[in-house]
């Protein structure tokens, strides 16, 4: 009997409105068999993407999204951000019979609770720094004094990437502890914290697509979290990225699969968790090998913008196979050998409060190897595209080498502009010769 070809989803809904979702919508739209992509709520970039339509439904409105899926006969839902996953959006849609790429609330705890994730890693023998949990300020301060050195302080719950302090002094660590319990990162993040042993080494992100059993690894990517050149200043969501990061060669990636990803999936299964979506391992490459800094339950942003242009037209089929629990039967996902470079253009003030509503000008013509994705932008009724968030645009280019790819991104950035636009000129310094 001839093997049955893996089906492609014809109609896809992408949930979210950032640069990551713009990149996902763009890549899925050019996948085999895809007839239409909807994005909810989308942004000023997805509203202009040919073949893509916007739905004015917030990512928190599970019932509204479910209704839209039914009306539009959606074949696959791809959930971009962590918050709706942690709130159970994938569970709600799956219960109604939809195919969803993204874990349920149980699997999303990998990101939503640092303590839960650390405990799972310990059980599974996954390499990660030692940690201690505290539920109140005095307990945390006592733990810190007992150790007598400035441990890394992390809010236990979701804190939009801002709940971590790598303290150099005891006083900084104490201040970070007080900030968390003062509720500075919100009630959820302020309920408990984790103190962690500090590890040293370069950082790299590895993304695995999974149906809960099998894994497809994407090229490793390196993010640039600090706002300032030379990796200085406060942490951000990410100011740029590149892939494949040569820090992890094929053997290194295989080690990550065997020592990190496979044992993690197995531990999830032992807890009865059927994890279908992305596992994002934030790794530090220490002298003893890769150590997990954190897991996330979704694609990284801007790593997603960087990686999507490298992936083949099997992407939609592979994501549907993950959602349906039959990844082993999916076609192999082609990955381009090119180097991909991404730089974020942010609004003045980022990562603090930013001005919004500035008109985005520019005549940049995207091409086969040059993409302009939008993040914090919106298209107003007058047709103008205006800034509406901290990270506004992601410019991405692919080339045979990183020097050329970054040169194309930086040349492209000269052709877009908005008041107060800022970007780092040193993204990819690790892989550039000029």
Q: What are phi and psi of 335, to 5 degrees?
A: -125, 125
At its nearest, how many Å lie between ligand GLY and the CB of residue 394? Answer: 11
At its nearest, how many Å lie between ligand GLY and the CB of residue 303? Answer: 6
Q: Burial of 88 by CB count in 10 Å (0-12 exposed, 13-18 middle, 19+ buried)?
A: middle
Interacting span for ligand AMP (CB under 6 A) from 105-113, 198-206, 212-220, 257-265: 198-206
Q: Assess 203 for contact with ligand AMP (CB under 6 A).
A: yes
Residue (154 or 378) nearer to ligand AMP, CB: 154
At its nearest, how many Å lie between ligand GLY and the CB of residue 203? Answer: 10
What DSSP assignment string belongs to 287-356?
A: TTEEEEEEEESS--TTHHHHHGGGB-TTHHHHHHHHHHT-GGGSPP--B--SEEEEEEEE-TTTTS----
Residues 149-168 that bind ligand GLY (CB under 6 A): 161
Contact between 341 and 402 under an 8 Å Cβ cutoff? The reply is yes
Q: Assess 91 for contact with ligand GLY (CB under 6 A).
A: no
Residues 141-170 that bind ligand AMP (CB under 6 A): 152, 161, 164, 166
Q: Assess 203 for contact with ligand GLY (CB under 6 A).
A: no
What DSSP assignment string belongs to 81-107?
A: SHHHHHTTHHHHHHHTT--EES--HHH
Q: Name, in order, each residue with C-beta under 8 angstroms of 36's C-beta and a sequence gap of 6 or more.
A: 10, 11, 12, 51, 52, 53
**Within 13 Å of residue 64, how many CA atoms lie on the same side as its CB?**
10
Q: Is 172 in a helix, a strand, or coil? A: helix
The item of ligand AMP, ligand GLY, none sharing an interface with residue 166, based on CB under 5 to 8 Å by kind, is ligand AMP
Residues 271-330 that bind ligand AMP (CB under 6 A): 282, 293-294
Contact between 312 and 151 under an 8 Å Cβ cutoff? The reply is no
Q: Assess 22 for contact with ligand GLY (CB under 6 A).
A: no
76-79 sheet: strands from edge to edge: 52-54, 36-41, 11-16, 76-79, 100-101
Q: Assess 129 for contact with ligand AMP (CB under 6 A).
A: yes
Q: Assess 300 for contact with ligand GLY (CB under 6 A).
A: yes
The DSSP call for residue 232 is E
Residue (21 or 358) nearer to ligand GLY, CB: 21
Q: Assess 238 for contact with ligand GLY (CB under 6 A).
A: yes
Interacting span for ligand GLY (CB under 6 A) from 173-181, 189-197, 296-304, 418-426: 296-304
The item of ligand GLY, ligand AMP, none sharing an interface with residue 199, based on CB under 5 to 8 Å by kind, is ligand AMP
x-or-dash string of contact with ligand AMP, 167-196, rule CB under 6 A: -----------------------------x
Q: Which residues form the interface with ligand GLY (CB under 6 A)?
A: 161, 223, 237-238, 296, 300-301, 303
Which positions lie near ligand AMP, rule CB under 6 A?
A: 129, 152, 161, 164, 166, 196, 198-199, 203, 225, 282, 293-294
């Amino acid at each position: 009997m001839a093997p049955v070809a893996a089906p492609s989803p014809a109609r896809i809904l992408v949930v979210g409105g950032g640069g990551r979702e713009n990149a996902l919508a763009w890549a899925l739209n050019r996948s085999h068999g895809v007839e239409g992509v909807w994005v909810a709520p989308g942004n000023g970039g997805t509203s202009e993407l040919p073949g893509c339509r916007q739905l004015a439904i917030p990512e928190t409105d599970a019932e509204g999204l479910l209704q839209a899926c039914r009306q539009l006969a959606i074949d696959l839902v791809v959930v971009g951000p962590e918050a709706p996953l942690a709130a159970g959006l994938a569970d709600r849609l799956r219960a109604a019979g939809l195919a969803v790429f993204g874990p349920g609330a149980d699997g999303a705890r990998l990101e939503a609770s640092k303590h839960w994730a650390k405990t799972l890693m310990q059980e599974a023998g996954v390499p990660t720094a030692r940690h201690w949990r505290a539920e109140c300020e005095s307990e945390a301060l006592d733990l810190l004094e007992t150790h007598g050195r400035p441990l890394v302080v992390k809010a236990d719950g979701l804190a939009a990437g801002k709940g971590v302090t790598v303290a150099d002094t005891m006083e900084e660590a104490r201040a970070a502890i007080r900030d968390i319990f003062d509720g500075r990162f919100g009630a959820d993040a302020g309920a408990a914290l984790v103190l962690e042993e500090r590890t040293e080494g370069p950082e790299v992100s590895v993304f695995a697509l999974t149906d809960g059993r099998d894994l497809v690894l994407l090229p490793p990517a390196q993010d640039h979290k600090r706002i300032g050149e030379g990796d200085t200043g406060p942490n951000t969501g990410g100011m740029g990225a590149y892939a494949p990061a040569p820090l992890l060669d094929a053997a290194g990636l295989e080690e990550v699969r065997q020592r990190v990803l496979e044992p993690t999936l197995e531990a999830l299964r032992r807890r009865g968790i059927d994890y279908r979506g992305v596992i994002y391992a934030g790794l530090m490459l220490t002298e003893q090998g890769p150590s997990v800094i954190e897991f996330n339950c979704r694609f990284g942003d801007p790593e997603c913008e960087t990686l999507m242009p490298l992936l083949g037209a099997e992407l939609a089929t592979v994501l549907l196979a993950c959602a349906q629990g039959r990844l082993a039967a999916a076609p192999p996902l082609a990955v381009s050998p090119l180097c991909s470079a991404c730089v974020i253009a942010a609004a003045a003030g980022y990562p603090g409060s930013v001005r919004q509503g500035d008109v985005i000008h520019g005549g940049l013509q995207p091409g086969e190897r040059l993409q302009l994705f939008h993040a914090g932008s919106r298209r107003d009724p007058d047709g103008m595209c205006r800034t509406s968030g901290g990270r506004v645009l992601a410019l991405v280019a692919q080339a045979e080498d990183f020097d050329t790819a970054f040169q194309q991104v930086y040349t492209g950035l000269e052709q877009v502009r908005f008041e107060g636009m800022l970007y780092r000129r040193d993204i990819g310094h690790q892989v550039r010769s000029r």
